[in-house]
Amino acid sequence: MNRLRELYEITIQLKKTLVQEITAKDREAVIEQVNELIDKRSIHLQHVNPPFTEEEKVLGKELVVLNEEIQTKMLQLFNDLKSEMKQIKKQRKSNMSYTNPYKSVQTLDGMFMDRKK
SS in 3 state form for 69-111? HHHHHHHHHHHHHHHHHHHHHHHHHHHHHHHCCCCCCCCCCCC
Across 49-76, b (16+ Cβ under 10 Å) vs e yields eeeeeeebeebeeebeeeeeebeebeee
Question: Would residue 30 count as lying in a domain?
Answer: yes
Would you state the pLDDT for residue 12? 94
Question: Would residue 100 count as lying in a domain?
Answer: no
Question: Would residue 40 count as lying in a domain?
Answer: yes
Question: Would residue 92 count as lying in a domain?
Answer: no
Question: Would residue 44 count as lying in a domain?
Answer: yes
pTM of the shown model: 0.73
Question: Would residue 114 count as lying in a domain?
Answer: no
How many Cα atoms sit within 13 Å of 73 on the Cβ side? 19
Q: How many domains does the chain have?
A: 1
Domain that holds residue 51: 2-83
Question: Would residue 53 count as lying in a domain?
Answer: yes
Tell me the per-residue pLDDT of 24-38, one tens digit each, with 9 for 90 and over. Answer: 889 889 999 999 999
Tell me the per-residue pLDDT of 94-107, one tens digit each, with 9 for 90 and over. Answer: 887 777 766 666 65
Question: Would residue 48 count as lying in a domain?
Answer: yes
